[in-house]
Structure 1
């Protein structure tokens, strides 16, 4: 299930098949095995309405969760770019040649952070994370050594700025790992299955049955796939573009 919700296209295909089977099972299997009498129609309508309402509430709640996580990833990208840009200016307080060395490391660091947002490959992501940790160690060592050599308020300011750079990267990574729980996905898919099953069970007429077997499963599948797309930082079409980091990288001098 975890790998499925990480790839919205595969999830959409799976849901189309699963929910169409549910609707067909209700329209063909249940109606023949347990015909719905006119006396039970009112009770059926109550249960059907409650089931669809619950599904709608779950979809709306989960969509809100996905959107809030997407906004959080965007906000942390902006904070990360601001922290790096501010630190790039602060390191000038260290004096030469240390300032030039730290600036060069920060330029390389920004390129790595941009690659982090753009990559879809798991192996490449591991390499990027390893290089990021190595660069963070070098950046911290440089400002730490400067603060030890000259323990002044100015050095403390530079150390604090570097701490912000490292912290924002950690916040970003945590936000990208913060996904909708698999248990919520399991519950939604289960309720969607039974909702389509009940829709098929209560349909009347051949024309209505044909429409049901396509419209409702597609509608629900699209809704759940949209949520998965928003909630998937790397597997979906809706992704956080590191526009602030790209703008910062372009503002750096070329030499």
Structure 2
């Protein structure tokens, strides 16, 4: 399903799901007039709708947990970079100025990279450049290590390691999505509930208004869930304000 999302716009996929839901309602309606007599249709409707509601609640819980983690990691990364910047102040020149200049550029790349998550090639390029800067920062610290007191070296190395580890954690969190099988099961449940809701042997006309409300609400809920889960699509994005605030503070430093 995520491969389809990488190819098709979300709005086009939403229209496709809406079409499938209307089709399922139509199938249920026609079956009810060709093969009436399903006495426990209302019980099945309640059961399937309850299952769909349970799946939606479970999926939203998973998506919200992942979203909250990605948001917390932004704060963690900003704090780690800020701490490293301060601890670099213990180093002698020219290492201090060089490493702080690299850290300025590293912060810029992190912001540019997460603004380009919807452009895989550009994102990968920026990620490689930020990783290379991380390696360069570590190399500069190794070069100046013999000149440093043990306590200063330990504090600076610890801060730099936190910056690099947080970068890896953010990348892992961006790829930690709800399994595709859950979305597939949710779609099957939605279509099944559509068939059962369309099954109305006692009705001689289609419930256009109720059908439309059912389709629009379910589609909106499902794609809000997708929007929340996918960090590189849609309008729900993790706010990078902590990193932007840090960037401004670093630029204000002499």
Q: 2:56, 2:201 → 1: CA distance?
A: 23
Q: 2:132, 2:204 → 1: CA distance?
A: 65
Aligned residue pairs total 250
Match of 1:26 in 2: 28
Question: 5+ residue gaps in structure 1?
Answer: none
User: Structure 1 residue aligned with 2:128, among 122, 127, 130?
Assistant: 130
- Whether 1:2 and 2:2 are equivalent positions in the alignment is yes
Deviation sequence 1:186-241 (CA, Å, 0-9, x none) = 10001111110110013753555212331111111111000000001011110012
User: Structure 2 residue aligned with 1:72, among 69, 72, 90?
Assistant: 69
Following superposition of structure 1 onto structure 2, how do residues 26-105 of structure 1 map, counting pairs within 5 Å? 26-28=28-30, 30-35=31-36, 37=37, 40-41=38-39, 43-105=40-102
Q: 2:50, 2:13 → 1: CA distance?
A: 22
* Structure 1 residue 53 displacement after superposition: 0.1
Q: 2:107, 2:22 → 1: CA distance?
A: 47
* Structure 1 residue 152 displacement after superposition: 1.6
Deviation sequence 1:110-139 (CA, Å, 0-9, x none) = 011101221121111111111111111101
TM-score normalised to structure 2 length = 0.93
Match of 2:240 in 1: 242
Tell whether the 8 Å contact from 2:60 to 2:225 is kept in structure 1 after alignment: yes
* Structure 1 residue 47 displacement after superposition: 1.3
Tell whether the 8 Å contact from 2:63 to 2:228 is kept in structure 1 after alignment: yes
Deviation sequence 1:25-78 (CA, Å, 0-9, x none) = 1112x123212x3xx43x211111100000000001101111111111000000
Tell whether the 8 Å contact from 1:143 to 1:162 is kept in structure 2 after alignment: no
TM-score normalised to structure 1 length = 0.92
Superposition RMSD in Å: 1.7
Give the secondary structure class of the aligned counterpart of 1:235: coil
Question: 5+ residue gaps in structure 2?
Answer: none
Following superposition of structure 1 onto structure 2, how do residues 156-195 of structure 1 map, counting pairs within 5 Å? 156-195=154-193
